[in-house]
Each structure stands twice: as C-alpha cells, then as structure tokens.
C-alpha cells in the first residue's frame, strides 16, 4: 500500500519549493528592470539566457485515475509516472514547467496542438500511436488483466469466458483495443455489451455495484484496485506491452533526452526507489 499522507507531503513540498523558485526568478527580473543598468551589455546577455531557459521548458500531460501511475490525492497529483518523469527530466537539459491533467484520449490531441510537450500516462507504445506521435525508450512492461467483483458470480478463466457479458474499459486504452479485437470482432460480445469510460475509477465503481461484469485493464493498475476495492483479478494474459513517454514526431531532441534520462535513472538506485515506493517491489 502507498503511504498516501507521506507522498502528499513530499509532493506538496516539491511544488512549494518550485513556486518559491519561480517567485525568486520573477523578483530578480523586476529588480533588473528597475535598475535599468546596461553595464557591459548584461541586459542582452540576460535576455539571451532567458530565451535559452524558456526554450528548454516543457509541460507534461497525464490522466489521473490510473493507480498507481497517476492519481490525485488530497488535491495533489502523485504517482509512479509523476515521480519518474520528474527524475528523468532532472537528468536532461530540460526543465519541467508543470503538469496538465486530461482525459486519457485527450492526451495525444493536446500533444499535437502543443498544449503539452510530453505525455506521461502509462501509455503503451503501439504501431498505431506511432503513426501520430513518437515515444521515448520504454520504461515499464505490463500485461493485461481481467478484473471482476470480489466473490461475485462472474469468475472467468480466459477471454472466451467473457462471452455474452457486459465488459468495460477506459476509452483510448489498449484494454479497449482488446475488447474490440478479441471480444467484439470475434463475436463473443456485441457492441452494446461494451461500456467505455473516461477513466478506470468510474468503471471500477460500476463493477463494485454489479452493473458491470468485467473490466480489461493493465495488470499493475488492476493490482492496485484489487488492493483497495471490492474487486479481484480473475486472470492475467500476456500482451508484451511497453510504456513510453510520448512526444511530438518532430521533437527528436526531447525524445533523445528523455530516453537518455530513463537510462540514467534506471542505472542509478532512483528507479528502484520509485518502483518500491509505488509497487512495493
């Protein structure tokens, strides 16, 4: 189990520290303008430095409700992806300016529209997505699980056992793709038997109430819900999925920097510490 109160305090400290740092930068700028000194061309030099700093700032986008990768606790954004991206960016020449919270299927459009610069949302690297965006090297491997109500009548052993049942998944996820490819296209369930959700929290709530029979979801997220809710994993099947940080296709420098940052964090003890924090492993 994640120590939520401790995680909240640490994240709040980091955010407050960041706010103080930004306030200091703003104050320094005001004092410089007030002095109006042109000694040795320092104004031009500072302007060049500011332009360089601005060009290195990036905004990350994520989709809370995907425990333990990204969620909101006491109003604060926390999770494995949050900690990992912050650690990775620290290894680069970029600066993480902030986070945008979006629905999962809104992340790629936001990236394309340049509202965000990187996606950190347990997003699986797929051929279809790579037609639109690029990915860093992978940073996590996961399979898919089928989640059911604890002690309920529905206890499937494989995908074929979901025939005729009401199945749910999060919109835009690989879980939804499996529902389409393995269940609907194979004639095991009808289109009307599938319910799409903006996030998995809503789907799990329906599952607990018994209005949904099963959910297809990434294994580590399923394990997190099973630990906290009245749901359980019926079975898990291998998909060979790899998560990566998403960037725009023309942003080769950021893509390379993130991949190098992932390698540096993995080679240090920090990756293991973050994994232990959120997965207790």
Listing DSSP states for 106-175 in one string gives: GHHHHHHTTS-SEE-S--B--TTGGGT-EE-S--EEEEEEEEEETT-S---SSGGGGTTS-EEEETTSHH
**Domain spans of the chain, in order of start:** 56-142+241-279, 143-239
Quote the pLDDT of residue 5: 36
Quote the pLDDT of residue 46: 53
**CA-based torsion, 8, 14, 18, 20: positive or negative:** positive
The CATH code belonging to domain 56-142+241-279 is: 3.40.190.10
The two three-digit tokens of residue 77, written as one number:
């954004």
Q: Answer yes or no: same fold for 56-142+241-279 and 143-239.
A: yes
Quote the pLDDT of residue 28: 33
H/E stretch holding 207: helix 200-209
Task: Please say whether the beta carbons of 147 and 215 come within 8 A.
Answer: yes
The CATH code belonging to domain 143-239 is: 3.40.190.10
For each successive 10 residues of the chain (281 residues), what is the average pLDDT? 37 38 35 40 49 73 96 96 98 97 97 98 97 98 96 96 97 95 97 95 96 96 94 96 97 98 96 94 60
């Amino acid at each position: 189990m994640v120590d939520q109160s401790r995680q909240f305090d640490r994240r709040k400290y980091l955010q407050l520290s960041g706010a103080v740092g930004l306030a200091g930068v703003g104050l320094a700028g005001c004092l410089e303008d007030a002095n109006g000194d042109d000694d040795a061309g320092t104004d031009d030099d500072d302007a060049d430095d500011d332009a360089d700093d601005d060009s290195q700032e990036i905004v990350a986008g994520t989709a809370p409700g995907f425990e333990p990768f990204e969620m909101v606790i006491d109003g604060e954004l926390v999770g494995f992806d949050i900690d990992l991206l912050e650690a990775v960016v620290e290894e680069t020449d970029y600066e993480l300016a902030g986070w945008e919270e979006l629905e999962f299927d809104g992340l790629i459009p936001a990236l394309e529209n340049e509202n965000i610069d990187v996606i950190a949302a347990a997003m699986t690297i797929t051929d279809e997505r790579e037609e639109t965006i690029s990915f860093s090297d992978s940073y996590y491997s996961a399979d898919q699980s089928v989640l059911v109500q604890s002690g309920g009548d529905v206890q499937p052993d494989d995908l074929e056992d979901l025939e005729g049942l009401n199945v749910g998944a999060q919109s835009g996820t690989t879980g939804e793709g499996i529902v389409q490819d393995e269940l609907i296209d194979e004639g095991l369930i009808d289109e009307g038997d599938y319910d799409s959700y903006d996030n998995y929290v809503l789907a799990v709530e329906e599952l607990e109430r018994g209005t949904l029979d099963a959910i297809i979801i990434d294994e580590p997220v399923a394990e997190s819900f099973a630990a906290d809710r009245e749901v359980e994993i019926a079975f898990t099947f291998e998909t060979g999925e790899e998560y990566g940080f998403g960037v725009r296709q023309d942003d080769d420098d950021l893509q390379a920097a993130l991949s190098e940052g992932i390698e540096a964090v993995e080679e240090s003890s920090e990756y293991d510490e973050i994994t232990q924090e959120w997965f207790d492993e």
